[in-house]
Amino acid sequence: MTQIDAVLAHIDANIDASLARMQELVRFKSISTDPAFKNECRKAAEWLSAALEDIGFDGSVRETPGHPMVVGHDKDAAEKPGPDVLFYGHYDVQPVDPLNLWNSDPFDPAIVEQKGVKVMTGRGTSDDKGQLLTFLEACRAFKAVHGSLPVKVSVLLEGEEESGSHSLLPFLHAHKDELSKDLALVCDTTMFDETTPAMTTMLRGLVGEEITITAADRDLHSGTYGGPAANPIRVLARILADLHDDQGRVQIPHFYEGVPELSDEVKAQWDALPFDGKAFLGEVGLSIPTGETGYSIYEQINARPTCEFNGISGGYTGDGFKTVIASKASVKISCRLVGQQDPHAIRENLRAFVKARVPADCSVDFAEHGANPAHSLPADFAPLQQGAKALRDEWGKEPIQMGMGGSIPIVGEFKTILGMDSLLIGFALDGDNIHSPNEKYNIESYHRGIRSWARVLAALAE
């Protein structure tokens, strides 16, 4: 029996104990956005710190202005091959509302069968308590069998990911020397489907901007002032219409600088996926793609930049009708970024684009709502190749190199603050109902997720 075979056998033999620990962690009502659950967040942090100590880490609960961080370092100080790694996860969860839509108590996790598949139900089972435990349980198995891990491992678990991560950046800056490693490992992503593993190699960045156009010094009667008075809603509508051309391309100057095309290998892999773009839109009652002409829907949502309007306000929006010309009109815009797009340059160019179209009789104000760059890994990145081999050995098929339409800001912060690239491997499924009632995590995903991380750790040592 090889070194990794013995670890995998231990995982299989002790899966019931692993599931019991998962249930313990899920029972903590660690809803970070609600002050009523502050003590529950702390209890979850203390439980994880104790779990790290039990595994053989130097675990500690670190204070922040918000919910505490949990930090752990492997006590085994021996020199080891491969990179020093920092694993990241979060122990906080989303609120459970509306509670009446849950089929069972969200904080009383149970193993049940759904459509012939065993799952564990409960808030946080998939996002992110079950996910982070796949890694910790892999470390536990290695320690139990061999007494040590194949590479040096540190752990960072936060308690505010679901509420804005307000304490995270100051914490990273304050503990930069302690937390800077060769590689970050993140398990807050998904598989492609129930039997196909995935590695998220492209993660879109984000620029959030709120724009407010002001015209008159008060709301005006449209019968008296309609026509000669500047209407900020009309001004804003014209500006927004100018932001895209008829081919769906964003018209902000220099917007596409740093946007790469897919490699032939990844494009071929994506084209071969059983992804039905028509069905994807059909699920939400749509049928006509409106993104960039010349790119598949899958490519548009995973590897192309966007500029979207998330909310528009101005004038009277209540019940009934009011003949008013608004004094102000505003829009919230999010730009999803890819490749090497510079979020700060995008923001400045967007503002210049807007200012150039504001009439002299109007003014414009801007408010920032975050900015982080995209994250992508080169095809020849050694940990990516090692992780792919580990997943292939466990699942018996080639892992999909996925893009992700959303953003995980911590990945950008790891790069800019700690100087680390991130390997994103997750075992959640799109149907896990994260952030929704009846969240669940497939037992097989959890079990084989532990086995997969054990293989990844062994592969990194090579």
pLDDT level of residue 1 (50, 70, 90 thresholds): low
Angle, vertex CA 449, rays to CA 446 and CA 450, nearest 5: 90
Domain spans in the chain, listed from the N-terminal domain onward: 3-203+374-460, 205-259+305-372
pLDDT band at 289 (very low <50, low <70, confident <90, very high): very high
pLDDT given at position 372: 84
Tokens of 32: 């970070």
Q: pLDDT for 294-327, tens place per residue?
A: 999 999 999 999 999 999 999 999 999 999 999 9
> What value does the mean pLDDT take over residues 436-442?
97
Supply the mean pLDDT for the chain: 95
Q: What is the pLDDT of residue 183?
A: 97
pLDDT tens-digit readout, 111-158: 999 999 999 999 999 999 999 999 999 999 999 999 999 999 999 999
CATH class of the 205-259+305-372 domain in this structure: alpha beta
Report the alpha-carbon distance of residue 409 to residue 91 in Å, rounded: 17
Give the closest residue to 66 by CA, choosing from 28, 33, 93, 26. 33
Token pair 């019968």 in the structure block, residue: 223
pLDDT for 379: 81
- Tell me what the mean pLDDT of segment 186-198 comes to: 94
Q: What is the pLDDT of residues 333-382, one digit of tens each?
A: 999 999 999 999 999 999 999 999 999 999 999 999 988 888 888 888 99
Residue 2 has pLDDT above 90, yes or no: no
Task: Note if the bond before 128 is cis, omega within 30 degrees.
Answer: yes
Q: Read out DSSP for 238-277?
A: HHHHHTB-TTS-B-STTTTTTPPPPPHHHHHHHHTS---H
- How much is the average pLDDT of 391-419? 89
CATH fold match for the domains 3-203+374-460 and 205-259+305-372: no
**67 neighbors 32 (Cβ within 8 angstroms):** yes
Query: Greatest CA separation found in the chain?
Result: 88
pLDDT of 405 strictly over 80: no
CATH of 3-203+374-460, one of 3.40.50.1820, 3.20.80.10, 3.40.630.10, 3.40.50.10420: 3.40.630.10
